[in-house]
Amino acid sequence: MLLSTIVFLPLAGAMLVLLAGGRGDRPEREPLVRNLALAVSLVAFAATLYLWWVFNPSEPGFQFVENRPWLPQFGISYHLGVDGISLFLIVLTGFLTPLSLLCSWQSTHKNVKLFSFFLLALESAMLGVFVSVDLFLFYIFWDAVLIPMYFLIGIWGYDRRIYAAVKFILYTMVGSILMLVAIIGLSYAHGAATGQQTFDLTQLYGTALSWQMEKWFFLAFALAFLIKVPLFPFHTWLPDAHVEAPTAGSVILAGVMLKMGTYGLLRFAFPLFPNAAHYFAPYIAILAVVGIIYGALVAMVQPDMKKLVAYSSVSHLGFVVLGLCSNTVQGVEGAVYQMLNHGVSTGGLFMIVGMLSDRRHTRLISEYGGIKAVMPRLVACFLIVTLSSIAVPGFNGFIGEFLILLGSFRWMPWMASAAAIGVILSAVYMLWMFQRVNYGEVTNEKNRSLPDLSTREWALMIPTVAMAIFMGVFPAIFLRAMEPSVMKVIDLINGVAR
């Protein structure tokens, strides 16, 4: 019951928030609603930490399994489980939700009740994605994630929010709905082969498929996940969604939702269709490398900080996909680790951009300059998060990117070399932005009297900075728990121990 509790606790909290908010838009209940939502998300975070505590790191398979028939006519079950790959994504979701509630504490005043409701409902759906072991259940959570996010962007976003929200939902749906057809097809193919229709992932692994079927099913799954990641050239929804989303939306979008794509590749697309995965991996990896460099180059020329961070996500997620495609222990482990790192560092960057734009109501780099003299504390945190994002040794990003490059070098050296250019470029665009915003003289008079970090903002920055350093210094704590599950997935992809 532990996993069900973790998944549905935020949703129950969301309902509670809705009740506590009273009828209509009641500004006087705002503090109550905010504190209640934050309390719920903190309890949920504590629950995910407890899950980590009781998790057995040496067990490769699913733990805390709950398996109950749900639609027995079709072999659909309510099957939850967690392994070393999903464990930390769950903890990351728990970690980022309170932060995203907290970072919109001052900037969001329009119907806080509904805002908190959607954020908590979103958390439930995302947690559901990571614990589902039944394909049907997974798809339900996967699609359910879209609705709260759509509202978060559409109601509380910036000027072009409606365009961005609709683009986001339609773009993602096109990919995922084809995956739905493939899921159905796969389950019938399994039924035809074994006489037992099922949507249970553990049984579907190793289903014998004709090459035609396997190819098309893989492409349908991969398309859904690659749009979500987003991999070049399916990334065009991302800058719009990120730029228009409120800070909390960007933090969750970059921090957790993009990882649903890479997680899906690793958990579903590759091991379910190993032959197709081997066949297509080089092509996907080429797209990933193109995305790494393209994302970095486009990020470099962005005048808008938020857009810059958004394109940097395209580049960073390219690394993750490259690591997954390499199908080596280091590469995949690095990819999973990099998913977490990206959540922490990009989440942190979006929070910092949010803090600046809360004060100045602009995100244009040219509006800033010399901020270090005005807000030394914020800039100190900014520096640490920047360094973690560009993978300086000693910070979390280094471990992830290093492992990915190591793994992909063993697989295809020239691919790793090309990707390494991306590491350099990321230093160029991030540090250049950092320099333009923070160093030099204060060029804009409006920036002279900006207040430094408030207590609330310290509460945002301390955990983020602490995680960036902690994960950079003690990666073994995380990697040890991942390794057995990663090995198991690689075995599945390589067809060992079927």
Partner 1 sequence: MNSFAATIPILIVVLSAIAAMLAEAIRHPGERMYIAGFGLIGLVGAAVASVFLWDSDAVSFGVVRADNFALFINIILCIIGVLTMLFSNEVVEREGLPPGEYYALTLFAISGMMLMASATDLLVVFLALEVLSLAVYVLTGLRRSSAGGAEAAFKYFLLGAFSSAFFLYGIAFSFLLSQGSTRLDGLAQAIASGPNATLAMLAVSLLAVGFCFKVSAVPFHMWTPDAYEGAPTIVTAFMSTGVKAAAFAAFVRVFLSAFEPMQGQWIPVLSAIAVATMVVGAVMGVLQNNIKRMLAYSSIAHAGYLLLGIIAANSAGKSAVLFYLLTYAVANLGALGIVALLGTAEHPHDELRDFAGLWKTRPALAGMMTVFLLSLGGFPPTAGFIGKWYIFSAAVQEGHFTLAIIGVLSSVVSVFFYLRIVVMMYMTEEGAVPARPRVSTAAMAGLGLAMLATFYLGILPTRVIDYALQSIQTIF
- Contacting positions for partner 1 (CB under 8 A): 23-25, 70-74, 136, 139-141, 143-144, 146-147, 150-151, 154-155, 161-162, 165-166, 169-170, 173-174, 177-178, 180-181, 184-185, 187-188
Q: Using alpha carbons only, how large is the chain's radius of gyration in Å?
A: 22
Nearer to partner 1, 52 or 74 (CB): 74
Q: How far is the CB of 155 from partner 1 (least distance, A)?
A: 6
Q: How far is the CB of 147 from partner 1 (least distance, A)?
A: 6
Q: In the chain, what is the greatest distance between 2 CA atoms, to the nearest angstrom?
A: 74
Closest C-alpha to 333, from 257, 404, 258, 259 = 404
Q: How far is the CB of 74 from partner 1 (least distance, A)?
A: 8
The SS3 assignment for 71 reads strand
Residues written for the chain = 498
User: How many angstroms separate the first and last alpha carbons of the chain?
Assistant: 29
Q: How does DSSP classify residue 28?
A: G
Residues in Cβ contact with 319 at an 8 Å cutoff, skipping those fewer than 6 apart: 288, 292, 335, 338, 400, 401, 404, 419, 422
Instruction: Please tell me the distance from the alpha carbon of residue 396 to that of residue 410, in angstroms, as a whole number.
Output: 22
Instruction: Specify which residues 78 forms β-bridges with.
Output: 68
Nearer to partner 1, 181 or 301 (CB): 181
Q: How far is the CB of 151 from partner 1 (least distance, A)?
A: 7
Q: How does DSSP classify residue 434?
A: H
Instruction: Please tell me the distance from the alpha carbon of residue 64 to that of residue 274, in angstroms, as a whole number.
Output: 27
Q: How far is the CB of 236 from partner 1 (least distance, A)?
A: 17
Q: How far is the CB of 177 from partner 1 (least distance, A)?
A: 4
Instruction: Please tell me the distance from the alpha carbon of residue 44 to that of residue 38, in angstroms, as a whole number.
Output: 10
Nearer to partner 1, 84 or 154 (CB): 154
Nearer to partner 1, 161 or 267 (CB): 161
Nearer to partner 1, 166 or 459 (CB): 166
* 391 to 109, 311, 341, 388, 498: CA distances (angstroms): 36, 16, 10, 5, 37
Instruction: Please tell me the distance from the alpha carbon of residue 468 to that of residue 473, in angstroms, as a whole number.
Output: 9
Query: Can you read off the two tokens belonging to residue 369?
Result: 């300059």
Q: How far is the CB of 81 from partner 1 (least distance, A)?
A: 20
Nearer to partner 1, 25 or 30 (CB): 25
Nearer to partner 1, 6 or 423 (CB): 6
CA dihedral for 190, 196, 199, 204, sign (positive or negative): negative
Nearer to partner 1, 23 or 455 (CB): 23
Q: How far is the CB of 19 from partner 1 (least distance, A)?
A: 13
